[in-house]
Amino acid sequence: MSSLPPKKPTRQRLRNSRKRLTPPTNPEMHARKIAESAEAAWHGAYGTGRLDLPVSIIATLAALPRNDSQGNDVTDSMIECDTADFMAFARHTWTSVIRSRPEITHLVYPIISWIFDGTEASVYQHAHAVAQAALRAGQPDLTGTDRRFDTDLLGNVLTILRPKSALQARGQFYTPASIAELLARMSDVEEHRIVEDPMMGTGGMFRAVAEVMREQGRDPRTVRWVGCDIDPIAVACAAVNSMIWGLGHDIVFHAGNALTPDWEAGALAQRDELRRLATDIERDKRMIALLM
Q: Rounded to whole angstroms, how far apart are CA atoms 239 and 205?
A: 13
Over residues 266-278, mean pLDDT: 95
Residue among 207, 201, 203 at smallest CA distance from 170: 201
Eight-class DSSP state of 147: G
pLDDT value, residue 15: 46
pLDDT value, residue 122: 82
* SS3 of residue 44 by DSSP: helix
Of 17-21, 39-43, 90-94, 281-285, the least confident: 17-21
Ramachandran assignment for 174, one of left (phi > 0), alpha (psi -120 to 50 degrees), beta (any other): beta
Which of 221-256 are b and which e, b meaning 16 or more Cβ less than 10 Å from the residue's Cβ? Answer: eebbbbbbbbbbbbbbbbbbbbbbbebbebbbbbbe
Domain presence at residue 254: yes
Domain presence at residue 166: yes
pLDDT value, residue 171: 54
Ramachandran assignment for 191, one of left (phi > 0), alpha (psi -120 to 50 degrees), beta (any other): beta
- Give the pLDDT confidence of 107-152 residue by residue, as tens digits: 999 999 999 987 677 889 999 999 999 999 999 999 999 999 999 9
pLDDT value, residue 13: 42
Domain presence at residue 4: no
Domain presence at residue 2: no
Domain presence at residue 1: no
| Dihedral sign, Cα of residue 23, residue 24, residue 30, residue 32 | negative
Residue among 149, 161, 251 at smallest CA distance from 204: 149
Domain presence at residue 281: yes
Q: Rounded to whole angstroms, how far apart are CA atoms 12 and 18?
A: 10
Q: Which residues pair with 7 in a beta bridge?
A: none
* pTM for the structure as a whole: 0.88
Q: Rounded to whole angstroms, how far apart are CA atoms 61 and 42?
A: 15
pLDDT value, residue 11: 43
pLDDT value, residue 173: 61
Measured from the Cβ of residue 258, the count of other Cβ atoms closer than 10 Å reads 16
- Is the pLDDT assigned to residue 233 strictly greater than 60? yes
Structural domain span for residue 182: 11-291
Domain presence at residue 3: no
Domain presence at residue 6: no
pLDDT value, residue 128: 95
- Is the pLDDT assigned to residue 4 strictly greater than 60? no
pLDDT value, residue 29: 95
- Domain total of the chain: 1
- Give the pLDDT confidence of 150-170 residue by residue, as tens digits: 999 999 999 998 866 544 445
